[in-house]
Amino acid sequence: MSTDIDDLITVAELAEWSNTPTGATAGSTQNVFQEVITGWSKFVLWKTGRVSGYFTGTGGDYTQFNEVRDGNGSDSMGLLYGPASSIVSVVVSGMAYGQSLAWNQGGWFIEQGGMFIGLRSGSSTFPADYPMMGNQFRFTRGKGNVLLTYKGIYKAVPPDLLEASLKACTVIVSKRLREDEGGKMVPQTGSVTNFRAWKWPPEVSDVLLRYTRTIFTMG
């Protein structure tokens, strides 16, 4: 089986992490490792609600997204495919906003972490009202009245997701020869080795939760 663009880890990385002896990943074993890696990687995309290439990059560059969103009435809007590396345009109810390069300059800016686009009025826009009256620029409430165009996703697999994938794939590989077995008895001694019942370690689920796509709304 060949590698896939969405593979989060490689066969060599999985072999090293799972302490598989050198040379043991040749032939059919290598195919099994690759199937597990690709299957897991596609599952991660489905679980987190992301598009192909989101975690591994596309051609070594960022991907451009066009989001048509409902205005939330706030001065901040979460991105479906952040973190954003750059903003192409922000249009609200037909009005195009420019970039705000300073706190007192009106326009859009990328908030810390890259998962939100913020709007700020700036004193140069409303000198009499700012900051006493607060921010006047908003993603005005409406149906499909916001168009966000930006470049996002990751150029390389995030370190925590890479480690989580190594842990998950190691568990999957080790369980394939003992499906539905809760434990194993050693006849000579009568001792029993109990196996974990989980699909993968709990910390793996915690990592997936951090990357799961969330739609931010204002009540």
Q: Are residues 70 and 147 in the same domain?
A: yes
Q: Are residues 141 and 75 in the same domain?
A: yes
The H-assigned helical ranges of the chain are 11-17, 28-48, 159-175, 202-211
Q: Say if 51 falls within a structural domain.
A: yes
- 71 neighbors 142 (Cβ within 8 angstroms): yes
Q: Are residues 94 and 147 in the same domain?
A: yes
Q: Are residues 73 and 143 in the same domain?
A: yes
* Residue 86 pLDDT greater than 80, yes or no: yes
- pLDDT given at position 12: 92
Q: Say if 183 falls within a structural domain.
A: no
Q: Are residues 120 and 73 in the same domain?
A: yes
Q: Say if 188 falls within a structural domain.
A: no
pLDDT tens, 97-123? 999 998 888 899 999 888 899 998 876
Q: What are phi and psi of 179, to 5 degrees?
A: -60, 135
Q: Are residues 162 and 217 in the same domain?
A: yes
Q: Say if 207 falls within a structural domain.
A: yes
Query: Mean pLDDT throughout 31-40?
Result: 93
Q: Are residues 58 and 71 in the same domain?
A: no
- What is the tally of structural domains in the chain? 2
Q: Which residue type sits at 127? A: P
Task: Please state, for a pLDDT cut of 90, what percent of the chain lies above it.
Answer: 42
Q: Say if 184 falls within a structural domain.
A: no
Proportion of the chain in helix, strand, coil states, percent, rounded to 5: 25, 20, 55
Q: Are residues 160 and 95 in the same domain?
A: no
Q: Are residues 126 and 165 in the same domain?
A: no
Q: Are residues 72 and 58 in the same domain?
A: no
Q: Which of 100, 134, 151 is the last residue of a domain?
A: 151
Task: Please state, for a pLDDT cut of 70, what percent of the chain lies above it.
Answer: 78
Q: What is the overall mean pLDDT for the chain?
A: 82
Domain extent for 86: 66-151
* Residue 79 pLDDT greater than 60, yes or no: yes
**Tokens of residue 62, six digits:** 């960022």
Report residue 179's pLDDT band, with 50, 70 and 90 as the boundaries.
low
This prediction's pTM: 0.67
Q: Are residues 115 and 162 in the same domain?
A: no
- pLDDT given at position 188: 74
Q: Are residues 41 and 110 in the same domain?
A: no
Q: Say if 186 falls within a structural domain.
A: no
How far is CA 79 from each of CA 65, 76, 108, 151, 157, rounded to the nearest angstrom? 10, 10, 13, 11, 19
- pLDDT given at position 182: 60
Identify which of 19-23, 46-50, 96-100, 180-184 has the greatest average pLDDT. Answer: 96-100
